[in-house]
């Protein structure tokens, strides 16, 4: 399987650099979950970028 690119060129206007960096850090996990769940890695990455942009939590642990 080739390198997975999460449409960063298409979404660079919609999502912050922080959100795109956030999903890049989890590339392997995104790919594994996508294969196990039989859904696209782009869908998972997009949802993660959306949540990161909307709420800006990053790696902050919440109670």
pLDDT at 22: 86
Averages of pLDDT over runs of 10 residues in the chain (63 residues) are: 54 72 90 94 89 69 47
In residues, how long is the chain? 63
pLDDT at 57: 61
CA pair distance 51, 35, nearest whole angstrom: 21
The pTM assigned to this predicted structure is 0.65
Supply the DSSP string of 7-29, one letter for each residue.
-HHHHTTTS-HHHHHHHHHTHHH
Inter-CA distances, 35 with 12, 40, 41, 45, 47, Å: 25, 8, 8, 13, 16
């Amino acid at each position: 399987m080739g390198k997975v690119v999460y449409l960063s060129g298409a979404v660079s206007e919609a999502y912050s650099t922080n959100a795109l960096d956030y999903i890049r850090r989890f590339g392997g996990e995104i790919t594994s979950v996508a294969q196990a769940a039989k859904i696209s890695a782009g869908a998972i990455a997009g949802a993660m970028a959306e949540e990161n942009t909307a709420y800006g939590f990053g790696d902050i642990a919440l109670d």
